[in-house]
Amino acid sequence: MHRLSIAALLLLPLTAALAQGVNPAPRDYWKSCTIGKRDRGYTARIQGRYSVTEGSQALPTWLLRDDNGANDDYNTRRIRLGYFDELQDDLLYFVQVRRDWGANEFEIHDLYLSWNRPGFGNLVLGQSMVPFGRQYLTSDIQLPLGERPLAETLLVPDRAIGLLLYNHRATDRLGWYAGVYPGKGKNDWSTGSAIMAAARVEYLVAPNLNIGLQWACHPDTATSTFQRFLSRNGSAYGLQPLYAAGQVDETAYGVDVLYRNGPTSIWGGTTTRKADGGAVSVTANAWYLEAGHYIPFQGQDDKLELVLGYQDFDPNTAVTDQLDARWLAFGVNYHVEACKRQWRLNYTIRDEGADDVANNTLMLEYDHQF
C-alpha cells in the first residue's frame, strides 16, 4: 500500500495541469507571539470534531482521540485562549490556556516573556514550545490533514520551561533556534539537575523549497510524550521502571521539508528518537509525506483543497508489533476564510505491523480562530 500512496502523493501536483486553484500566501509558521505582529490583543480558537472509528478496542492507541471506536461522537477537541501585551517597545509577554479533549479543566499552555532585538532575534524566557519539527511548530489549522503525523507528536520533545533564543529570519534564507530547559519532564524545571537542549536550523534552498534539521537531547528523563505513549499501551519495552527512576536518556534528531508551488504544497519529514536506559535501549523511527492541492470551486480558487498523506511509525526498530503504524489519509478541506475558518473531511486507513485491528476513521472537523 505504501508504494501506491507515495505514488499518489507525487502525482497530486500533476493535477494542476487539469485544474488550478490558489494556495493562499502562508503566514509565519512559528507559533510563538513575537514583537511586530501586534502591540497587544487576544487570541482564541475552538475546534469541534465528529468522528466514527471501526471497532471499540481500547488498545492500541497512539494518544489520539480517534484511533479507536470508544470515542465515537462529537467532541470539542481543542480550545485556546490567549492574551499578549508589550511591556515596552521590545518586550512582550504572552499567556495562553487550553482545554483539549479528555481534560476537565483549563491548564496553562504558554507563559513567557519575549525580548526582541532587531537584526539579532528573539529571546524567550518561560513555558513555550521546544524547537523541533516544522509541523510540530506550525499551528495545526495551517496543516493539510486534521492530525499531525506521529513523527511530529510522539517523537518530538514536550513543551518545557526554559530559555529559547531564535531568529527565523537571520538572513533571507537562514533561520536558527536553540533552547535549554531544566527538569525531567513536561513543563517541569524543579526536579533534579537534568537539562534538555534542543536546536533547529532551516534553510531556504530555493524560492519554493525549505529544509529543516533538528536535534534534541534530554538526559535523565522521567516523563515524555514517547514515555506516555508506551505506558498507555501497557508495554514500555522494559523502559518503564527506568523512566520512573528518571534514568532514561532521550535523544532525537530529524529532517523536514516543505515545498510550495502555486496551488500545491508538499510536506515531508523523518524523526529518529533513542531512549537509552542503560540496561535497555529502544530506537524509534517515523517518516511522513503529505500534500495539499487547491482546485477551483464555484468560481473561487482558494476555497477547496484536496489533501493526501502517508506515514510510517515504528516505536521500536528491533521488533515488529501492533504499535507499528502505517497510515494512509485523504480528504478535502473547505476554507471559509483561509485557515481561520475551515471544514475538514478526512478518512484514515490504519494498518498495524502485527495483529491488525479494525480502526479506520472518518472525521469531520470545524476550526474557528477568532
Helix, strand, coil percent values for the chain (each to nearest 5): 10, 55, 35
Q: Do 223 and 231 meet the contact criterion of CB atoms below 8 Å apart?
A: no
C-alpha to C-alpha distance for 239 and 243, rounded to whole angstroms: 6
Position 234 confidence tier, pLDDT thresholds 50, 70, 90 = confident
Position 58 confidence tier, pLDDT thresholds 50, 70, 90 = low
pTM score of the predicted model: 0.88
Residue 72 has pLDDT above 60, yes or no: yes
Which of 62-76, 96-110, 271-285 has the lowest average pLDDT? 62-76
Residue 315 has pLDDT above 80, yes or no: yes
C-alpha to C-alpha distance for 332 and 345, rounded to whole angstroms: 5
DSSP conformation letters of 136-202: HHS-GGGSSSSS--GGGTTSSPPPEEEEEEEETTSSSSEEEEEEEEESSBTTB-SSSS-EEEEEEEE
Q: Do 84 and 36 meet the contact criterion of CB atoms below 8 Å apart?
A: no
Position 168 confidence tier, pLDDT thresholds 50, 70, 90 = confident
CATH number at 280 reads 2.40.160.10
Exposure string for 119-148, b = 16+ CB within 10 A, e = fewer: eebbebebbbbbbbbbbbbbebbbbbbbbb
When divided into structural domains, the chain yields a total of 1
pLDDT computed for residue 212 by the predictor = 96
C-alpha to C-alpha distance for 153 and 273, rounded to whole angstroms: 12
More confident residue, 12 or 243: 243
Task: Quote the domain boundaries for residue 354.
Answer: 2-369
Q: What is the pLDDT of residues 250-273, one digit of tens each?
A: 999 999 999 999 899 999 999 999
